[in-house]
Structure 1
């Protein structure tokens, strides 16, 4: 099963994307719809709202008077947070139940307006953010929802900013032209990435990795991609697992292969093997046979080998190697030392004996692995 988080600012067109994904075969779980269901008449959610905000938020028929409740919480941060504590846990519980009931090969899309604001991005295999310029969104809200320009602007400003959404996004879908163009982008994403991602997870395999070691210019997206993947691993594995971005793409401004190297520190290789199943569920299957590396990064036969475990990534939109190394081992230390040395001394990459230069730097600065 592939779990996809779908979000976007008000007026960006998230609902149009959700409808198209449903047409392609996705199971859509609409958080807004669930938020209404959990406070319907007779629910304990509605009872708690009345207990907190009073009977003035009810209609004469006993249903939730949404405009009245909105007037109570809009602009009142404390009141809004009290309301969220009532609704959000119930929505999450209902979402989990619906996800469990889906078929094992399903692509489950959670349509969540406040996905970034509520810190849920790391709980999905993939996060899609629908984006549109502010002017386009204001025009849509005034034309389609009858809001005044000032009201539309206030709704937009009440949500998180576009930069935060982009940082959380594995995929950004721009929606500023016609519906046909949006559908074409959604269809391409479904065909070229989402379907393959789900199949790879279900089959326990990584996305194909090109054998070419082509060096490309430094990409400012690398640290953001690494941060998203690290957050996913930490969320999925729980506390106590140290996950770090290592390798050439962890050095800002340095040309490198377009490959994100991540590292998990473990106490033993047996512990690493014990994590294999859970990592596979998170989208990081084992790369069979890649159980060691050349010591010090030198030529074959020079210095022997260091044992480790390597996992790939099932998402064809990323190129990732996940290394599991024993904390305190030479390979673990070397990965951290090279990253920190090249961050501190970028010109050190040109040194004829890079490993020795890094060791000398560590000795002179008192560097210790983080």
Structure 2
């Protein structure tokens, strides 16, 4: 099962996206519909609201008067928090029930207007944001909902802005064109990413690109890492392990293979097995079969064992290295990253080496091995730098 979070600002066209995904076969859970359900007539949620805010929030027929409730909490922050404490846990519980009832191979799409605002992004395998220019949204709100401009602007301003939504988004669907254009984008997302991603999660299979080329530095790599790390942290809660962005994509301005390298620290390597590996796989980071280790660097000897996980997402390759705290491989990954960040000359030298090797050594394994002599020397330079600067991992 794949859990997808879908959000977008008011008037963005999010409902059109959710409807198209449902047409393609997704199981749709609409947070607004669930929120109304959990405070419907005769529910514990409605009783709790009346107990908290009195019967003045009820209409003549005994149902919730949303306008009266809104007037009560709109300008009263403590009152709004009390209302959220009633509604949000019940929405989460009902959403979990609906998701559990879906088929094992379902793509479950959670349509949540305030997904970003309430910090839900890490709980999904993938977050899709529908983005539309504000002018277009204002026009749609006036045309489709009869909303005057001042009210529309107030509602837009009350939600997260586009930059904040993009930071939480694994996928941004731009909806400034026609409905046909939007449907085409949704269909492409469904066919090329969501369905394969679901199959990979269910089968505990990492998506491994056949060939990875060197690409120019992507300024969004740190942001992509942050989303992945938050997802890993959510999967392992309440534990709060150390998670680091390592490798070339963690060094600003350095061209690299488009793979996010992440280091997850465990107290003992044996802790990486069993429940931890299962929870990572459930979150979309299945373990790669076989034995994995890092090549030793002078003055160390012997192989440095680790566990390696990948990503089930076919569009976001990941190497998740699970290493024991304070082990040679753990320290080495952090030292190399920090030295290359701090030394522009060595960063330039490494980039030149990469370009030369990509042109002459197309095979991935051979490419990695060909870098060994340079890294043997780089470790010595990095250790000198660490001693001079007082660097600690």
The normalised TM-score by structure 1 is: 0.95
CA shift digits 1:197-252 (9 cap, x unpaired):
0001111111132333x221110110111000000000001123221111110112
Aligned partners of 1:281, 1:307: CA distance in 2, in Å? 24
CA shift digits 1:102-143 (9 cap, x unpaired):
111111111100001111100000000011011111111111
Name which of 367, 379, 383 aligns with 1:355: 379
Task: Work out whether residues 348 and 357 of structure 1, in 8 Å CA contact, stay in contact via their aligned partners in 2.
Answer: no
Tell me which residue corresponds to 1:340: 338
Tell me which residue corresponds to 1:234: 233
Corresponding position: 1:94 with 2:94: yes
Task: Work out whether residues 129 and 172 of structure 2, in 8 Å CA contact, stay in contact via their aligned partners in 1.
Answer: yes
Tell me which residue corresponds to 1:39: 39
Aligned partners of 1:83, 1:180: CA distance in 2, in Å? 39
CA shift digits 1:56-102 (9 cap, x unpaired):
21111111111121222223333222211111110000001111111
What are the equivalent positions in structure 2 for 1:183-198 lying under 5 Å apart?
Answer: 183-198=183-198
Tell me which residue corresponds to 1:168: 168
Corresponding position: 1:319 with 2:320: no
Tell me which residue corresponds to 2:267: 267
Task: Work out whether residues 166 and 172 of structure 1, in 8 Å CA contact, stay in contact via their aligned partners in 2.
Answer: yes
Aligned partners of 1:155, 1:33: CA distance in 2, in Å? 19
Tell me which residue corresponds to 1:224: 223
Tell me which residue corresponds to 2:281: 280
Give the RMSD, CA atoms, in angstroms: 1.6
Per-residue deviation, 1:347: 2.4
Tell me which residue corresponds to 2:304: 306
Task: Work out whether residues 249 and 261 of structure 1, in 8 Å CA contact, stay in contact via their aligned partners in 2.
Answer: yes
Per-residue deviation, 1:355: 1.3
Task: Work out whether residues 296 and 304 of structure 2, in 8 Å CA contact, stay in contact via their aligned partners in 1.
Answer: yes
Aligned partners of 1:173, 1:297: CA distance in 2, in Å? 49
- Gapped regions of structure 1 (runs ≥ 5): none
Aligned partners of 2:122, 2:298: CA distance in 1, in Å? 32
Tell me which residue corresponds to 2:113: 113
- Gapped regions of structure 2 (runs ≥ 5): 351-376
Per-residue deviation, 1:345: 2.1
Tell me which residue corresponds to 1:147: 147
Per-residue deviation, 1:181: 0.8
Aligned partners of 1:314, 1:172: CA distance in 2, in Å? 19
Name which of 335, 349, 366 aligns with 2:390: 366
Aligned partners of 1:211, 1:334: CA distance in 2, in Å? 26
Aligned residues: 365
SS of aligned partner of 1:296: coil
Task: Work out whether residues 341 and 347 of structure 2, in 8 Å CA contact, stay in contact via their aligned partners in 1.
Answer: no
